[in-house]
Amino acid sequence: MPLDATAIIKVVIPAVSPALKPLFSNINSKINSALNPTDLEKALKAGIIAAKEWEEKQPHAQRLFYHCDDKTQIDVFSRFFTDTTVLQELQKPLQDNKTTPDLDLLIQIFKERISAENQKLKFPENSIENWLEKFVDTYFKKTSAYLKIKIDKEDYLKQIANYFDDVKFAGIAVEGQEVDKSAQLPQIFVMPDVVEDIRERNYEDKKDLALLEAIESTGISDHQVELIREQRQIGRLEKSTGKKFSAQNLLTESTSQKFVLLGAPGSGKTTLMSYFAVMLAQKQPEILGLAADTDLLPIIIKIRDLAKRAEHLSILDYIRQFASGNLQVKELPTGFFEYWLDDGRALILLDGLDEVANEAKRYEIVNQIEVFLSQYPQNRTIITSRPAGYRSVFFRTEEFPRYMLESFDDDKIEIFIKKWYESRFEDPQESQSRQESLRQALAEQKRIKELARNPLLLTIIALIHRYEAYLPRQRHKLYDRAVKTLLTNWDAGKELNYKFPCEYLHRDDIERLMQQLAYWIHTQGGTGDKEGGTLIDKEELIKQLKEFITEEKPIKPHQAKAEAERFIAHIQERAGLLNEQGQDCYAFVHKTFQEYLAAQEIKDRQEGDGDEVVLEHIEKYLHNPHWREVLLLLITQQHRKKSAKFLKHILEQETPYEQWLHRNFFFAASCLAEDLEVQDKNLVKQILQQLINLEISKNKQVGEKIRKQVFKTLCSLNKTQFEAQALQLLKDSAQHISEVQLQEYRVALGEKEEVTKMLLGRLTDDDSLVRRYAASALGKLGNASAEVVNALLGRLRDEDSEVRGFAAFALGNLGNASAEVVNALVGRLRDEDSVVRGDAALALGKLGNASAEVVNALLGRLTDEDFLVRRDAASALGKLGNASAEVVNALLGRLTDENSLVRRYAASALGKLGNTSAEVVNALLGRLTDENSLVRRYAASALGKLGNTSAEVVNALLGRLTDEDSWVHWYAASALGNLGKNSSDVAPAVSEWISQHQDSEYVGSGIDALWELVATDG
């Protein structure tokens, strides 16, 4: 019985493959770049299968190998397909896809050479001719098809590059200026960092449930409650992340070929996917960390669009329609995408899972994606989503590890500024001048720089600076420019023929209507997402807009509804301020714009209804975290004659726990930090003096958290009109403030250069005590200039070990994680002095470099002979966030260290790493009864961070409230607070405890706990 095709292929292909290399080296270079040996192997397989299938349909006596055994068949095929002349004939379709192999010649070779080598072989009449005819026909069709696929691939890649490489700032034009030109993606793209996300979600978070219960009582729609529940409950993540690396290496660093990429709104998820596609389309895989000869076909799927068509289209059909419709690729051959998918040579980019807002629909799409990926399991796949729209149950974490996009750090912002202006100006001097101007503006305005860590907002800031040549100092002015930027349409420049689609509204109505809309949306509740705006159902949005339009225009309800639909389409497509972020759901592109426009709406109402509307909002929302920015932006825009009135009203509010937490004063000071104009100078002095009084107070009711908030608040006055006044008040109280603390204030409030210069001089003083002090002080001032860093690196070799230790610690504080600094600190882990080793370990923990070299060096210090070094190494490992099994097991081992300090810091580190395994939880529960109270405290704290709300954990923490050590009471209460913040009984319980211990030395810690539970400032 003849062998089947599979058995023949298993022998023939390995025999033929070595002969393919010289064959392909002789092929025309154009074709060589299109087809490869794998394609030829596939065509050979297809030809053999087709011939064998035909043969099996023939009577046995007419089959080619009727008279041959299995061994002879294999020998015949191997000799035939490795024959030099046969291989030359097989080249013909590759050199010219119109030329078939010479069938008559192949028949002749088979009869003469194969038969001559084994004269005993007998073949039925016409069996050779029929078998080879079927083989050649199929082989030629397959090679032609593969060649067409490869040639059409070039058109597909060209269109991919055209579609995703041209970054148009749609709707982003600065008022009164030309629309900014588009840019090629690589010109302005900045590669973000990602961090492995090994966090688990706590779906029963009591804070969320309590908040949702409160929201439900406000009377908003059930559907909106569900949307908020979706954004909050799904998106809450407990602490702990894994390794951090550049997104450039995602495809090589990931532990799986398939993974999920999570990122906040505006963090650059879609841009990164576009960049990956463009780099592959432009045949630059090495930029993505891949080998230069990597041949991957990029396939981008917009999940939101897929969801709209999912009932009628399979994913494969959607991909085809996107290619022909959106990319406008000419007609692709049948099987084009299957060719790449079957081989595992595609990069599948599924963008925006969170944009399917309906949870049931999202599960359907997830199932559809899983089925599709299971059909083509060998392909690399990236799925993107906002954290608020992703559940860990969507895809198994073992198969789909998660990664989080990081915000831009200072280096990334710097790279963007450089690329931005180099792409905007051909003149190098003009480009450099603009770069320096934007750098300085961001350096002087820390709040705006924090916004610039979001790539979307950084782009808008850069566009404003591009045309204004400066950034407004006050945030509300910057937001005003940004909103006008986003609301300025293409017809302001390039698209002069664009017709405003609304029939009853005018262009002048847009911003006013957006203010009303933003305020209404803001009243629908917060999501806990600092960057994402509140998600609103499309039907509710249109309904509310219809009411606003009806109030403004004398038109009928059905006309107002149609106008609302036109307005939404215009804002989404032409302005980009309000985006569809799920199927039939909308939200502001960033929460900042929602907050600013809501503040503007209140301000507009103030003009008609008087100051009472502002006072009412202060009374209702002061210290409500969802309304904090709205109130700040509202108050800081007030006229200097009215601002004092509102500040006094803030200070007069009966805020819970005000006598301990001073939140009213902190909020009033935050208004001053916005450079608020205030006519009443005495009031300003009163607020500043209260902050100074808290700074110098020796009252034990002023806890550490309060002191830190005082420092942060006073420093936030830098570059404002109150800077000099605050610094002078501090200098007037210098005798009550440590020299180091005063120097930190001087640096923050305008005297940075003077202080830094003085300390650098002291760093080379003959007296080692002076050098120690100078190194320590420099580490606290936050000046990480090259001059300061180099000077401290020099002190790492100081003859005095304490100077070396202070220098190491200072470098950790400054946050410069350059290779030079990290390597120097790793070297100090082997210092002869144990104090230096410990300080170097702590510094490495602060710098956040979690490379294998650093982690391994710290793991080595966990067994140091000096317990203080073991302690510091444990602390550092906790901060680095590497929760590998090796690190976790090493720290578990330190929980039983002979020294209590080591046990304490090992417990703390495990809490930070977030490993919630039973082994870790049980080990920490065991430390709740440690003989040392400090260990018990930190075990309690760690359990609070892990988010395990089992009865065993909760009961164990409740048991510690009667611990013989009063501080363990606080740590246990704080842990319970973390497990259920803002629940109905925790804050009152802590408040009662404070009332009972007002004269106790521990009262400050109790107030700190209360601060953690209820405070929102800062």
**Which residue type does 668 have?**
A
Asked if the model's pLDDT at residue 497 lies above 50, the reply is no
Q: What's the rounded Cα separation, in Å, for the pair 201 and 236?
A: 6
Reported confidence tier of residue 181, pLDDT bands at 50, 70, 90 = very low
Share of the chain above pLDDT 90, in %: 37
Alpha helices in 33-126 (DSSP H): 37-56, 70-81, 84-95, 103-109, 115-117
Q: What is the DSSP string of 62-82?
A: GSTTTT--HHHHHHHHHHHHT
Q: What is the pLDDT of residue 629?
A: 93
**β-pair type (241-246, 258-262):** unpaired
Asked if the model's pLDDT at residue 490 lies above 80, the reply is no
Mean pLDDT of 555-572: 85
Asked if the model's pLDDT at residue 527 lies above 80, the reply is no
Residues 973, 978, 979, 981, CA torsion sign: positive
Q: What is the pLDDT of residue 740?
A: 81
Mean pLDDT of 696-715: 91
Average pLDDT over all residues of the chain: 82
Q: Does residue 539 or residue 208 have the better pLDDT?
A: 539
Q: What is the pLDDT of residue 139?
A: 78
Q: What's the rounded Cα separation, in Å, for the pair 231 and 386?
A: 9
Under 8 Å between Cβ of 1009 and 973: yes
Asked if the model's pLDDT at residue 216 lies above 50, the reply is no
Q: What is the pLDDT of residue 815?
A: 84
* Tens digit of each residue's pLDDT (9 = 90 or more) over 649-680: 999 999 999 999 999 999 999 999 988 999 99
Q: What is the pLDDT of residue 405?
A: 92
Mean pLDDT of 121-144: 81
Per-range mean pLDDT, top range of 208-222, 468-482, 578-592, 803-817: 803-817
Q: What is the pLDDT of residue 655?
A: 92
Mean pLDDT of 629-644: 93
Reported confidence tier of residue 599, pLDDT bands at 50, 70, 90 = very high
Q: What is the pLDDT of residue 1?
A: 45
**β-pair type (380-385, 346-351):** parallel
Asked if the model's pLDDT at residue 495 lies above 50, the reply is no
* Tens digit of each residue's pLDDT (9 = 90 or more) over 321-380: 999 888 888 888 888 899 889 889 999 999 988 877 677 888 889 999 999 999 999 999
Reported confidence tier of residue 29, pLDDT bands at 50, 70, 90 = very low
Q: What is the pLDDT of residue 693?
A: 94
Q: Does residue 38 or residue 109 have the better pLDDT?
A: 109
Asked if the model's pLDDT at residue 27 lies above 70, the reply is no
Q: Which of 256-270, 386-400, 889-903, 970-984 has the lowest mean pLDDT?
A: 970-984
Look-up: residue for tokens 């960092």?
193
Asked if the model's pLDDT at residue 97 lies above 50, the reply is yes
Q: Does residue 262 or residue 972 have the better pLDDT?
A: 262
Asked if the model's pLDDT at residue 33 lies above 70, the reply is no
Reported confidence tier of residue 717, pLDDT bands at 50, 70, 90 = very high
Reported confidence tier of residue 4, pLDDT bands at 50, 70, 90 = low
Per-range mean pLDDT, top range of 25-34, 164-173, 181-190, 369-378: 369-378
Share of the chain above pLDDT 70, in %: 82
Under 8 Å between Cβ of 336 and 327: no
Asked if the model's pLDDT at residue 17 lies above 50, the reply is yes
Reported confidence tier of residue 233, pLDDT bands at 50, 70, 90 = very low
Q: Does residue 648 or residue 196 have the better pLDDT?
A: 648
* Tens digit of each residue's pLDDT (9 = 90 or more) over 402-448: 899 999 998 899 999 999 998 888 888 999 999 999 998 888 777 78
Mean pLDDT of 233-262: 73
Asked if the model's pLDDT at residue 1017 lies above 50, the reply is no
Q: What's the rounded Cα separation, in Å, for the pair 931 and 947?
A: 25
Mean pLDDT of 121-148: 80
Reported confidence tier of residue 865, pLDDT bands at 50, 70, 90 = very high
Q: Does residue 679 or residue 17 have the better pLDDT?
A: 679
Nearest to residue 302, comparing CAs of 279, 334, 325?
A: 325
Mean pLDDT of 275-287: 93
Q: What is the pLDDT of residue 242?
A: 62
Helix (H, G, I), strand (E, B) or coil at 929: coil
Long-range contacts, stretch 707-713, CB < 8 angstroms, 24+ apart? 709/666, 709/1017, 709/1018, 711/741, 711/744, 711/745, 712/1018, 713/666, 713/669, 713/670, 713/673, 713/1018
Supply the Cα-derived Rg of the chain in whole angstroms: 34
Q: What is the pLDDT of residue 780?
A: 81
Under 8 Å between Cβ of 868 and 901: yes
Q: What is the pLDDT of residue 280?
A: 94
Q: What's the rounded Cα separation, in Å, for the pair 157 and 515?
A: 43
Reported confidence tier of residue 576, pLDDT bands at 50, 70, 90 = low
Q: What is the pLDDT of residue 863?
A: 93
Look-up: residue for tokens 């070799």?
797
Under 8 Å between Cβ of 92 and 29: no
Under 8 Å between Cβ of 482 and 169: no
Q: What is the pLDDT of residue 2?
A: 55
Reported confidence tier of residue 41, pLDDT bands at 50, 70, 90 = confident
Q: What is the pLDDT of residue 728?
A: 95
Q: Which of 113-122, 273-282, 630-639 has the lowest mean pLDDT?
A: 113-122
Q: Does residue 572 or residue 408 have the better pLDDT?
A: 408
Asked if the model's pLDDT at residue 1004 lies above 90, the reply is no
